[in-house]
Structure 1
Amino acid sequence: MLHHVEINVSDLSKATEFWGWFLGELNYEVYQRWDEGISWKCNMTYIVFVQTEERFIQAGYHRARVGLNHLAFYADSRKHVDQMTEKLRNKHIPILYQDRHPFAGGADHYAVFFEGPDRLKVELVAPD
């Protein structure tokens, strides 16, 4: 079981708005909050977002570089994926691979792929 993941972000306020909404939809709750960060927890696993120091923001992030590519979360069902896809669209959150949605991960992989504020790819996957 994964204990936690920590992600540095360029704008903690934007990250808190985006991740707070999404993780709340998946039953995560705010776990810790301090001036430079926030975390959400579900069961025993938590996700931490920390404000990157100004001097490091210039380098930027890209999921194709060495490092974290994306985070994938389980949805409750295919219907849940569809409902979340609609909510993402209503919030104008960029959905990736729209030409292959909801099977961008393959014929047996029902999911929605989208981007967070720092362009980190996020995936919500229906169970088999």
Structure 2
Amino acid sequence: MEDLVFQLIDACGLPPARLEGEDPVDIDPLAHPGHRPGDGSPYGSALEKAVLNLPRDGHLVLECAADEQCYAQVWHRPDGTYQLEYRDLAPAEHYLTRTVSAEKVVAALQGWTAGGAGRRDAFRWESIGSWFADS
């Protein structure tokens, strides 16, 4: 039931709440030195177009040029929702969220390419690092 509530909130497209005096263009304090998207990653309107044109069951991966353990990806699931993930330098730092809003996915991925922390604010992220731990 809780997931349905978040899906409905996502569908409204409301921006995340900001605290009074908070800088809306903050830099991600967790981004590692040298964080930047790889040369093949789409930017700006090309990134928006890539997300909006993802077919169901299609995916898009944005790799970090500085470290192969750093990336962001989206999967347009067969049910029409979007599964958004990012990893920061180690398998233990892998996070996942889902949304019905392509616009929020675009904003999050554009924030990732810019190194901004705001990309995380609009979602409730689940740590899935344990999925990748060695047994």
The structure with the largest helix share of the pair is: 2
If the length of structure 1 is used for normalisation, what is the TM-score? 0.26
If the length of structure 2 is used for normalisation, what is the TM-score? 0.25
